């Protein structure tokens, strides 16, 4: 379920026990401490470490309450499953709308959650990047990945949410340029014939590329690359600027849990705070493209403009994407069957 981190922000109160976290209507919001559980995906942790104290300070000034936020970080799909299986998140901030939809389908989030927050609840944005083995790898965009001298590392879209974005970036680089699905399938099939191994998730894919030295191009998130650079790693990389996919990650309040815990007001306030300039700057500092237009202007030198930035909605929305590409027997399985002999 990912590591649970207790953030006792604004005071030295002890962390809540299991019983204390399940507050009734007379729960934490009516006392001197407001308690929340945030469940998110791993790479957001450094941003939330800065955002949570800022929110706690504002909430304290407004209500007089201290805020304690228990945090859980891990793979987005695993985190969604953990919430469905009983991890009592009050707020979820996951990498894929599809993961949040699964929690909705389990009856924990009410339909229509996307419209409850700004920007259709998309709180962070990134794009796909091509990490190069070294400066001798002559790759400038998507089309180069189909060359015979290129070995591409990406995770398996059947098991990795991040890899689904990679697949969609490849597909959309063709269809959003006006070519047919048939042309797109042929291109993506050629790229996957250059994929020597399909790790189960993005972390394994990175290990295959960096630790096992397989492949000469790794498809990764721009924010992952920028975060690595901020930690002192020098990685030659290319962000395709002609066509790229907007990797949109939403936030949502988990209705069943906040009603059970009696902390809806603070949960909704925290989710809304993530769209403020203060929070958006912290996301931008760790590699995410701001969704706030004013903050985006402050980071134009960090995030070059993509000429055609398409979205999952431009490709039909997640329900259609799942059916067309990733269900058993769908296009990805068909592509894999044709490229397996080469692998």
Residue 305 lies in a domain: no
Residue 174 lies in a domain: yes
Residue 118 lies in a domain: yes
- CB neighbour burial string for 261-296, b if at least 16 within 10 angstroms, e if fewer: bbbeebbbbbbbbbbbebbbbbbbbbbbbbbbeebb
71 lies in the same domain as 182: no
Residue 30 lies in a domain: yes
224 lies in the same domain as 325: yes
261 lies in the same domain as 146: no
Residue 328 lies in a domain: yes
User: For the domain that residue 316 is a member of, what is the CATH number?
Assistant: 3.40.190.10
150 lies in the same domain as 115: no
Integer-rounded Cα radius of gyration of the chain: 21
Domain extent at residue 151: 128-245+312-339
69 lies in the same domain as 136: no
164 lies in the same domain as 36: no
Half-sphere exposure at residue 114, Cβ-oriented, CA atoms within 13 angstroms: 10
pLDDT of residue 38: 98
143 lies in the same domain as 74: no
Sign of the four-CA dihedral 207, 83, 265, 68:
negative
Specify the length of the chain in residues: 343
Residue 306 lies in a domain: no
115 lies in the same domain as 175: no
103 lies in the same domain as 80: yes
332 lies in the same domain as 221: yes
Of 35, 29, 39, 30, nearest to 13 by C-alpha is 35
Residue 92 lies in a domain: yes
pLDDT of residue 31: 60
35 lies in the same domain as 76: yes
Of 80, 190, 213, 191, nearest to 128 by C-alpha is 191
List the chain pLDDT tens, one digit each, 343 residues: 344 444 433 332 333 333 333 343 434 455 689 999 999 988 899 999 999 999 999 999 999 999 999 999 987 888 999 999 999 999 999 988 989 999 999 999 999 999 999 999 999 999 999 999 999 999 999 999 999 999 999 989 888 878 899 999 999 999 999 999 999 999 999 999 999 999 988 778 888 998 999 999 999 999 888 888 877 777 899 999 999 999 999 999 999 999 999 999 999 999 999 999 999 999 999 999 999 999 999 999 999 999 999 999 999 998 899 999 999 999 999 999 998 765 5
Distances in Å between the alpha carbon of 267 and those of 15, 34, 222, 290?
18, 9, 29, 22
277 lies in the same domain as 172: no
Q: How many domains does the chain have?
A: 2
Residue 10 lies in a domain: yes
Q: Has this prediction a pTM greater than 0.75?
A: yes
Half-sphere exposure at residue 254, Cβ-oriented, CA atoms within 13 angstroms: 29
């Amino acid at each position: 379920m990912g590591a649970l981190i207790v953030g006792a922000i604004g005071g030295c109160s002890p962390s809540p026990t299991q019983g204390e976290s399940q507050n009734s209507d007379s729960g934490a919001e009516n006392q001197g401490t407001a308690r929340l559980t945030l469940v998110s995906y791993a790479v957001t942790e450094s941003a939330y470490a800065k955002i949570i104290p800022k929110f706690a300070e504002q909430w304290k000034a407004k209500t007089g309450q201290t805020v304690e936020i228990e945090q859980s970080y891990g793979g987005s799909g695993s985190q969604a499953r953990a919430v469905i299986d009983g991890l009592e998140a009050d707020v979820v901030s996951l990498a894929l709308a599809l993961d949040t939809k699964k929690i909705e389908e389990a009856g924990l989030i009410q339909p229509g959650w996307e419209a409850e927050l700004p920007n259709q609840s998309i709180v962070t944005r990134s794009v796909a990047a091509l990490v190069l083995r070294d400066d001798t790898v002559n790759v400038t965009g998507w089309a180069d990945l189909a060359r015979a001298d290129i070995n591409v590392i990406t995770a398996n879209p059947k098991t990795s949410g991040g890899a689904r974005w990679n697949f969609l970036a490849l597909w959309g680089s063709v269809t959003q340029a006006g070519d047919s699905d048939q042309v797109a399938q042929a291109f993506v099939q050629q790229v996957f014939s250059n994929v020597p191994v399909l790790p189960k998730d993005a972390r394994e894919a990175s290990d295959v590329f960096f630790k096992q030295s397989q492949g000469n191009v790794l498809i990764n998130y721009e924010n992952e690359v920028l975060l690595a650079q901020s930690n002192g790693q020098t990685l030659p990389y290319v962000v395709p600027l002609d066509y790229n996919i907007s990797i949109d990650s939403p936030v949502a309040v988990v209705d069943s849990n906040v009603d059970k815990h009696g902390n809806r007001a603070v949960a909704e306030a925290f989710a809304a705070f993530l769209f403020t300039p203060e929070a958006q700057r912290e996301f931008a500092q760790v590699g995410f493209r701001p969704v706030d237009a004013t903050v985006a202007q402050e980071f134009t030198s960090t995030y070059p403009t993509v000429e055609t930035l398409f979205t999952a909605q431009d490709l039909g929305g997640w329900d259609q994407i799942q059916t067309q590409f990733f269900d058993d027997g769908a296009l990805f399985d068909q592509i894999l069957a044709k490229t397996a002999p080469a692998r």
